[in-house]
């Protein structure tokens, strides 16, 4: 190996370690902030074969080794019998990790093809069927939590989708009770950026399984929102971080939902409502500086201090 290749390898390892540390830190912080994992939990980690779920499983396994509490992990994949699905990939990978796992085989593909008219999107019915099977599996396995691989970008995209198309200020909760009322669902990657996960998955070389085997078209509305946010991120670094911070810093008195704030009872005796509104003029907003960690200078071997020359 040449000296140049050695330096390149050293730089790659440095950048990988930094990226892994950031994802691990963000995941650990989300788990702590929302009390996602508790002592004695048995976590069913939903593994789709995509970059997000692979990353989530690996990071949770890493945190499991150093956590001050004890919890179990069991990886679960649903084989929906889609044509071309490489059924051997995930079992081989999970065996290599030494993690407990279960492959659930259910032919939902045929059901969806039979029920949904040609040309119509299959995603809604497929999602409903998949959700029911995973809830049933969690119960059978004695899982106390179900972990999904949604990340910060998914949460923001959902917020804008609901604002643009649904008329709601509603995102994607990091922790919730399942719609059948029987399970707690967690999203440990809630603080992680998608671009970090993409880089990490590429560096790790995960055996990614394509998500379009069923032939369904992507959600065009979500695609449009994703493109919009990606464009903002390129033109205004740090904006994604600022917008996500806003989701954690809500001021109900300065919105217009009277179910969240009692506007009708306001009179002179109510006093000043905190939040910064000055009544007659539009408020000046002081920019919130939030560092985009992706812009922090990466390791450059040429900038190393050579102590032998001192």
- Annotated binding-site positions for [4Fe-4S] cluster: 123, 126, 214
Calculate the alpha carbon distances from 298 to 23, 180, 194, 289, 302 in Å.
16, 46, 18, 21, 12
Candidates 185, 193, 271, 191; CA nearest to 229 is: 193
SS (HEC) of 11-64 = HHHHHHHHHHHHHHHHHHHHHHHCCCCCCCCEEEEECCCCHHHHHHHHHHHHHH
**What residues have CB less than 8 Å from 273, skipping those under 6 apart?**
253, 254, 266
**What residues have CB less than 8 Å from 230, skipping those under 6 apart?**
none
The pairing of beta strand 184-186 with beta strand 175-177: antiparallel
Q: What angle do CA 183, 133, 76 make, to 5 degrees?
A: 80
- Asked if residues 265 and 177 have their Cβ atoms less than 8 Å apart, the reply is no
- Asked if residues 197 and 189 have their Cβ atoms less than 8 Å apart, the reply is yes
- Asked if residues 149 and 48 have their Cβ atoms less than 8 Å apart, the reply is yes
Binding residue ranges: 123, 126, 214
């Amino acid at each position: 190996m040449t000296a140049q290749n050695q330096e390149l390898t050293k730089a790659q390892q440095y950048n990988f370690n930094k990226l892994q540390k950031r994802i691990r830190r963000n995941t650990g912080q989300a788990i702590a902030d929302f009390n996602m994992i508790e002592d004695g939990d048995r976590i069913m980690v939903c593994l789709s074969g995509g970059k997000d779920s692979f990353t989530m499983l690996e990071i949770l396994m890493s945190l499991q080794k150093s956590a001050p509490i004890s919890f179990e992990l069991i990886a679960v994949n649903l084989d929906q019998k889609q044509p071309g699905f490489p059924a051997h990939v995930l079992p081989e990978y999970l065996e290599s990790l030494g993690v407990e796992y279960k492959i659930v085989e259910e032919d939902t593909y045929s059901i969806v093809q039979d029920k949904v008219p040609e040309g119509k999107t299959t995603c809604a019915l497929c999602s409903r069927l998949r959700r029911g099977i995973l809830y049933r599996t969690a119960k059978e396995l004695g899982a106390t939590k179900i972990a999904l691989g949604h990340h910060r970008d998914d949460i923001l995209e959902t917020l804008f989708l609901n604002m643009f198309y649904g008329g709601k200020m509603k995102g994607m909760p990091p922790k919730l009770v399942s719609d059948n009322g029987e399970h707690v669902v967690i999203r440990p990657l809630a603080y992680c950026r998608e671009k970090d996960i993409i880089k990490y998955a590429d560096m790790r070389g995960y055996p990614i399984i394509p998500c379009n085997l069923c032939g369904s078209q992507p959600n065009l509305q979500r695609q449009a929102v994703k493109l919009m946010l990606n464009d903002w991120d390129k033109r205004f670094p740090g904006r994604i971080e600022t917008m996500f911070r806003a989701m954690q810093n809500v001021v109900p008195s300065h919105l217009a939902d009277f179910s969240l704030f009692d506007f009708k009872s306001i009179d002179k005796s109510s006093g000043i409502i905190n939040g910064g509104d000055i009544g007659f003029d539009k408020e000046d907003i002081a920019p919130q500086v939030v560092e985009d960690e992706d812009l922090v200078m990466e390791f450059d071997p040429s900038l190393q201090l050579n102590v032998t020359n001192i």
